[in-house]
Amino acid sequence: MNIFSAFRDRVIAAVEGLQLETRDGGPLETARVNVEPPRDPSHGDIATNAAMVIAKQVGENPRALAEKIVSILDQDADIVETSIAGPGFVNLRISNEFWLNQLKLMADESAQYGRSNVGGGKKVNVEFVSANPTGPMHVGHCRGAVIGDTLANLMKFAGFDVVKEYYINDAGVQIDVLARSVMLRYREALGEAIGDMPEGLYPGDYLVPLGEALAEQYGETLKEKSEEDALAIIKDAAIDAMMKLIREDLAALNVHHDVFFSERTVHEDNATKIKAALNDLTLKGHVYRGTLPPPKGQLPEDWEDREQVLFRSTEVGDDIDRPLVKSDGSYTYFAADVAYFVDKFERGFEEMIFVLGADHGGYVKRMEALARAVSDDSVELTVLLCQLVKLLRNGEPVKMSKRAGQFVTLRDVVDEVGRDPVRFMMVYRKSSEPLDFDFAKVTEQSKDNPVFYVQYASARCYSVFRQAQEQIPGISADLELLHMLDDESEIALVRKLAEFPRIVEAAAMAQEPHRIAFYLYELANSFHGHWNKGNDNEHLRFVKVNNPQLTSARLGLVQGVLNVLRSGLEILGVDAPEEMR
């Protein structure tokens, strides 16, 4: 339960109980009423702007209206103190009993606490990674993979019906290049000297094992076939092998897609699916034959003014109409995209989310245009552009040379620093913000490393349970004794925990998974802070050998902290360790 929306209901009920008359006689507009934790804790536990929002509608002074609202809220047993501040804020202080009841839920509901139904079962497709199957994933795919996976987890947790999807770009020239590269590796495996990989082919060593496998399976027989037939066989094998590599890379990052959609399937059977999709678009009047205006600025040397089949995307918000058929009669990449989008639409998704790198910003408008045209504006299309990651080693940028086939793979990074630090750091930043990723910093075992700091909080919770067992054998958390928690520092920790459902809902609605990571950091901070108070004040320590009941109550608090940490970390796909090693 999100207690802030619960109290929002109470505030609105209080306002409605006043039987106010609006100046224009219409209904009271309460949509802009906010109930939230105040920035400054001294203002209370909960603050609302209700009086300020309503005042104008009913022609009253905000503070005077606040007085009236407060007079009703004062009767609420869970509210122990009310005050009016500033231009008309109403501040509420909530009883300890209420907070401890919340704690009981957190400790009791375990993995359920914080789940929400704000998503209302809305069908959402999150497409992310979609790396070309021409080699292992490189580090540039990392952020999008983590953000997409985390966003999908988050939205599921908040009550959306989410499908994680990967679009396999297994059609087109880059796959032909792949097949030709593998062909060379195959001949190499049969003992031919191939020398350096010719310019334009994929030089990476990762194709060598595939060449060897093909040599073993087919012997010399592929060389005896026509080049066309041989390449067709190799192409299938290559795509399978590359996707296997990619799936392994994804698994290493704890990323798991529900659906892998192959671009080839829309080209199959003489491109039936593309034809059907384009036909659909044509019937809706979005397709025509015409010429494109030449690009502004400098004219490309090979520019030819030519009539072609175009998607009239400018009518649905795009900057320029988009070609659907190439001069050789084959379909453009975008035409396949149309078919793919239609497929998603027919699968009933109400919202399509695309997690893309910032370098794909130019696609956003045509995708939006496509969504409008295909669905008659009935589906929502959201593009999350993630800014690039700058890899650093000891503060120095890591050099990568794509030409020489030397790039840092995703696996390199995961193997070196571990998947938890990678995942956490990739979402510990707003996705629209560039990100520095320093190998040394993310593996550092200190308070300065947020991954460690949050995971250590989890380990510390487990450690408390272990210590309690050692000192008071047989002890466990007792949620019936939570009323024994009465220290302000303990209640403050509960208040922090109670923010979790609200953070989940807000992060899911805003599609900003980084908020979960930041919240977990704050929670860890509160927890460690409370722990540290036990240094000076022995009374505040969790385990009190001479007071098993109080210890049981405090174990309940630790359980609450641990449950929220676990839920949050699970959204991030990060482990909540029982100990740090």
Partner RNA sequence: GGUCCCGUAGCUCAGUUGGAUAGAGCAUCAGAUUCCUAAUCUGAGGGUCGCAGGUUCAAUUCCUGCCGGGAUCACCA
Q: Which of residues 528-567 bind RNA (CB under 7 A)?
A: 528-529, 531-532, 534-535, 540-543
Return the residue of 509, 547, 548, 550 that touches RNA, per CB under 7 A. 509
**Which of 495/502 has CB closer to RNA?**
502
H-helix or E-strand spanning residue 94: strand 89-94
Task: Report the DSSP pairing between strands 79-85 and 89-94.
Answer: antiparallel
| Among 432, 469, 476, 549, contact with RNA (rule: CB under 7 A) | 432
**Site size with RNA, rule: CB under 7 A:** 88
Near RNA by CB under 7 A, which window of 20-28, 151-159, 440-448, 559-567?
440-448
Rounded CA gap, 23 and 474, in Å? 66
Under the binding rule (CB under 7 A), the answer on residue 96 touching RNA is: no
Among 9, 224, 229, 319, binds RNA (CB under 7 A): 319
DSSP 397: E
Question: How many beta carbons lie within 10 A of that of residue 208, not counting itself?
Answer: 13
Judged by CB under 7 A, does residue 580 bind RNA? yes
With both helix axes pointing from N to C terminus, report the angle between 500-510 and 514-536 in degrees, rounded to the nearest 10. Answer: 160
Kindly tell me which of 21 and 470 has the beta carbon lying closer to RNA: 470
Under rule CB under 7 A, residue 512 binds RNA: yes
Interacting residue with RNA among 41, 86, 209, 290 (CB under 7 A)? 86
Quickly count: other Cβ atoms within 10 Å of residue 444's Cβ.
13
CB of 526 to RNA, least distance (A): 10
Is the separation of the CB atoms in 357 and 386 below 8 Å? yes
| Least distance in angstroms from the C-beta of 148 to RNA | 17
* Closest alpha carbon to 123 in 259, 5, 32: 259
Nearer to RNA, 85 or 276 (CB): 85
Among positions 289, 306, 399, 402, the unique one binding RNA when judged by CB under 7 A: 306
What is the edge-to-edge ordering of all strands in the sheet holding 35-36? 35-36, 46-48, 89-94, 79-85
52 interacts with RNA by CB under 7 A: yes
Enumerate residues 354-393 that contact RNA by CB under 7 A: 358-365, 385, 387-388
The CA-CA-CA angle for residues 174, 178, 182, to 5°, reads 170
Q: Kind and range of the H or E element at 268?
A: helix 264-283
DSSP state of 332: P
Verify binding: residue 407, RNA, rule CB under 7 A: no
**Would you count residue 332 as binding RNA (CB under 7 A)?**
yes
Q: Does residue 260 touch RNA according to CB under 7 A? A: no
Distances (CA, A) of 55 to 58, 59, 69, 462: 6, 6, 11, 50
CB of 215 to RNA, least distance (A): 27
For RNA, which residue of 18, 20, 28, 85 counts as binding (CB under 7 A)? 85
Rounded to the nearest whole angstrom, what is the least distance from the CB of residue 133 to RNA in the complex?
A: 10
Q: Which of residues 268-297 bind RNA (CB under 7 A)?
A: 292, 295-297
Q: How far is the CB of 218 from RNA (least distance, A)?
A: 26
Helix (H, G, I), strand (E, B) or coil at 384: strand
Phi and psi dihedrals of 123, rounded to 5?
-80, 120
Amino acid at 329: G
**Residue 369 neighbours by CB distance under 10 Å:** 23
CB atoms within 10 A of CB 338: 26
Smallest distance from the beta carbon of 350 to RNA, in angstroms? 16
With tokens 């690039």, the residue in question is: 388
189 binds RNA (CB under 7 A): no
To the nearest whole angstrom, how small is the minimum distance from the Cβ of residue 507 to RNA? Answer: 9
Crossing angle of helices 548-572 and 142-157, in 10° steps, is: 130
> Token pair 């792949």 is at which residue?
178
d(Cα 306, Cα 289) in Å, to the nearest integer?
Answer: 10
Q: Which stretch binds RNA (CB under 7 A): 6-14, 108-116, 412-420, 442-450?
A: 442-450
Nearest CB to RNA, comparing residues 17 and 86:
86
In sequence order, what DSSP letters do the residues of 132-167 get, joined into one string? -TTSS-BGGGHHHHHHHHHHHHHHHHTT-EEEEEEE
Nearest approach in angstroms of CB 192 to RNA is 28
Cα separation of 578 and 226, whole Å? 59
Q: Considering only 164-172, 189-197, 238-246, 270-278, which stretch makes contact with RNA by CB under 7 A?
A: 164-172
Does 489 sit near RNA (CB under 7 A)? no
- Copy the structure tokens of residue 283: 């019937």
Q: How far is the CB of 463 from RNA (least distance, A)?
A: 8
User: Does position 429 bind RNA by CB under 7 A?
Assistant: yes
Q: Is 53 in the site for RNA (CB under 7 A)?
A: yes
| Smallest separation (angstroms) from RNA to the CB of 448 | 4
Min dist CB 305 to RNA, Å, is 9
Residue with smaller CB distance to RNA, 192 or 436: 436
Rounded Cα distance, 225 and 88, in Å: 83
Asked if 520 contacts 63 with a C-beta cutoff of 8 angstroms, the reply is: no
Q: Does 19 bind RNA (CB under 7 A)?
A: no
* CA 544/CA 551 separation, integer angstroms: 6
The residue (of 189 and 572) whose beta carbon lies closer to RNA is 572
Which stretch in 102-110, 267-275, 401-409, 443-451 sits in contact with RNA by CB under 7 A? 443-451
Round the CA-based radius of gyration of the chain to a whole number and report it.
29
Taking CB under 7 A as the rule, does residue 312 contact RNA? no
CB contact set of 245 (below 8 Å; sequence gap of 6+): 135, 136, 137, 206
Residue type, 360: H
Binder among 57, 174, 382, 489 for RNA (CB under 7 A)? 174
Least Å from the CB of residue 211 to RNA: 22
Examine residue 166 and tell whether it contacts RNA (CB under 7 A). no
Distance of closest approach, residue 46 Cβ to RNA, in angstroms = 9
Give residues 214-253 in contact with RNA (rule: CB under 7 A).
none
Nearer to RNA among residue 226 and residue 535 (C-beta): 535
